[in-house]
Structure 1
Amino acid sequence: MRVLVTGANGFVGKSLCAELTRRGDAVRAAVRSGHSDRGRLDDAVVGAIDGGTDWSAALGDQDAVVHLAARVHVMKDAAADSLVAFRQVNVQATLNLARQAAAAGVKRFVFISSVKVNGECTFPGQTFAESDVPAPQDAYGQSKHEAEQGLRRLAADTGMELVIVRPPLVYGPGVKANFASLMRAVQRGWPLPLGAVHNRRSLVALDNLVNFIVTCVTHPQAANQTFLVSDGDDLSTPDLVRGLARAAGMTARLIPVPVWILQVGAALVGQGASVQRLVGNLQVDISKARALLGWVPPVTVEEGLRRALAGMQKS
């Protein structure tokens, strides 16, 4: 199969291109400039990705598109109007690509969205499902939701198959931001005030997400469906810390500080959202992926954490 991957030099894109190539698919990597850090033989230089990008050189003879490129969620957004900035890339650029893909005869368009379309948190004992009414809470989630809506209309009008994937937090070799900070803290043996947290969160290992995307590219039953994806084994934050410590050959150092103290302290220093992600619940139900596609996460959480930690040690 011939597959165009956007965001090919990113955290997920690099692994996806490698896996598709390993399987024998012909991968075309969309890059913004002529420089590629992976030495691909079939890079398509598209320049800036926005509502006016010309994708004609990249889309020729492609069977499927996996659209990973996006303006990602950031904690401190410098844009004067963050929703406008997110819409320019995540909505306008996405729909521009999809329209050109349909016109070029691409059969299937796989859009990597976000669990943030569902919302920011779940109540204890409850999970997000694909059938839930979307409830995005920030500009990033709103832009992904609007892109999904536009893509569904376009797919209905053109007949191009659409698959939407909403992952939660993705971890693995090369992960950055808060997850990388947590790994460094555990590896350095720092005591962490998270011992009194009793939450449940769904995560997805990079290798599991890549495997699921490949499934969505090829599986006939994936056409015109939306899927949530995870490792299928939800963790509390203390469980996550203990898992990272085991992967590092260490003992987790967890201090049982009451959650309300963490929340108040974080709010005072402007880090309320970051701490909420450590103490709150966010669970997704992947039974649809299991039942419709027969998909089973190939990598355990334990192995996923080990690979993530090993990747940080190599970098």
Structure 2
Amino acid sequence: MSVVVFGASSQIGRFLLPRLLARGETVRALSRRAHANELGLSWVEGKLPDRVPDLGRPLVLVSFGPLLPFAQWLAATTLSPGTRVIATSSMSAETKQASDVPAERAISQALRDGEAALAAACERQGALWTIFRPTLIYGAGLDKSLTPIARRAMRLHVFPLPAGRGLRQPVHADDIAAAVVAALDHPEAAGRVLPLGGGERLTAGEMFARVQRSLPVSTLPVPVPAWVLRLGRHAVPRLRGPLTRLEANLVADNGELQRLLGVTPRPFRPDAACWTPPVV
């Protein structure tokens, strides 16, 4: 099967490529810079939506980048009927929809607009699309959520632990890659937007505590009480959204994921490797 992966050097792409090659797929990986080819895998330089070389008509298109540029490229490209198109969005499409921070509502709207544009582009050409909405992603040392916190703590040897009671459901990047592969074998997942969370729900405070315990260096845990967080929400406007969400539940219902694809993501058990960027 011929597969093209956009965002192949992303945190999910780094786990997906080995899974595809292990299945014997022929993979072309799009990246903004050159990479060395290997057996079954060729790298192509390009950038969505308008700097993509001719890719022929692969049977599968996977994208881990922004939805709207991918949808724009799909709309301008001729696809074979039945082409499988799989992309990732974010649970922020739901969790930030009613945020009291205008910029966060804009992010949610942009995600939902991108999902709709992708679906429309595929349906016009008879392509079969599936969109995953993952929760907070970790595992490759490339995320912009937990990894920066972990690295700062390792550098300063101090780990602030905010008193957050909202539930979290971190999902390992490799579990998203497993869901993508499963979708290739389950056409009944076509035409669906599937939430994708980790295999465990825990409070934000416990999530940060587990990150602190997973670090390879000693750090001093410093509890941040709720009153300090409330003060920060009012004193620093850019922190209002993130600090408010510490009391909100940011979770996903994995019921459809498990029923349609048989995928059960792992619980949140991070180790030091989760915060180490891959060697390029």
Query: TM-score scaled to structure 1, two decimals?
Result: 0.75
In structure 1, distance between residues paired with 2:224 and 2:91: 29
1:14 to partner: Cα distance: 2.4
Is the 2:161–2:209 contact (alpha carbons within 8 Å) kept by the matching residues of 1? no
1:224 to partner: Cα distance: 1.4
Deviations 1:219-259 (A, max 9, x none): 2221111100011201212211222233237687242512x
In structure 2, distance between residues paired with 1:177 and 1:286: 23
* Among candidates 221, 224, 248, match of residue 191 of structure 2: 224
RMSD: 3.0
The SS at the match of 2:131 is: strand
Matches within 5 A, 1:25-174: 25-33=25-33, 35-36=34-35, 38-40=36-38, 41-46=41-46, 48-50=47-49, 52-55=50-53, 57-58=54-55, 60-70=56-66, 90-91=67-68, 93-100=69-76, 102-105=78-81, 107-120=83-96, 137-174=104-141
Unaligned runs of 5+ in 1: 71-89, 123-135
In structure 1, distance between residues paired with 2:277 and 2:202: 21
Taking a change above 3 Å as real, the CA distance of residues 283 and 39 of structure 1, as seen in their structure-2 partners, is same
1:61 to partner: Cα distance: 4.0
Match status 1:10 vs 2:10 = yes
- Residue 284 of structure 1: aligned partner: 252
The amino acid that maps onto 1:7 is G
In structure 1, distance between residues paired with 2:263 and 2:243: 32
Bigger fraction of residues in strand: 2
In structure 2, distance between residues paired with 1:53 and 1:185: 36
1:166 to partner: Cα distance: 0.7
1:9 to partner: Cα distance: 2.0
Taking a change above 3 Å as real, the CA distance of residues 313 and 207 of structure 1, as seen in their structure-2 partners, is closer
Deviations 1:77-113 (A, max 9, x none): xxxxxxxxxxxxx42x222322355534561111211
Is the 1:121–1:280 contact (alpha carbons within 8 Å) kept by the matching residues of 2? no
* Among candidates 260, 264, 274, match of residue 308 of structure 1: 274
Count of residues paired in the alignment: 272
Taking a change above 3 Å as real, the CA distance of residues 271 and 256 of structure 1, as seen in their structure-2 partners, is closer
In structure 2, distance between residues paired with 1:237 and 1:121: 20
In structure 2, distance between residues paired with 1:45 and 1:189: 40
Taking a change above 3 Å as real, the CA distance of residues 241 and 11 of structure 1, as seen in their structure-2 partners, is same
In structure 2, distance between residues paired with 1:252 and 1:221: 49
- Residue 271 of structure 1: aligned partner: 239
In structure 2, distance between residues paired with 1:313 and 1:150: 33
The amino acid that maps onto 2:244 is Q
The amino acid that maps onto 2:221 is R
In structure 2, distance between residues paired with 1:219 and 1:102: 24
The amino acid that maps onto 2:194 is F
1:218 to partner: Cα distance: 2.7
1:39 to partner: Cα distance: 3.8
Deviations 1:246-274 (A, max 9, x none): 3237687242512x431322431332223
1:53 to partner: Cα distance: 4.2
In structure 1, distance between residues paired with 2:32 and 2:152: 34
In structure 1, distance between residues paired with 2:120 and 2:6: 21
In structure 1, distance between residues paired with 2:178 and 2:74: 23
In structure 1, distance between residues paired with 2:176 and 2:8: 15
In structure 1, distance between residues paired with 2:211 and 2:11: 20
In structure 1, distance between residues paired with 2:60 and 2:153: 40
Is the 2:87–2:130 contact (alpha carbons within 8 Å) kept by the matching residues of 1? yes
In structure 2, distance between residues paired with 1:94 and 1:65: 10
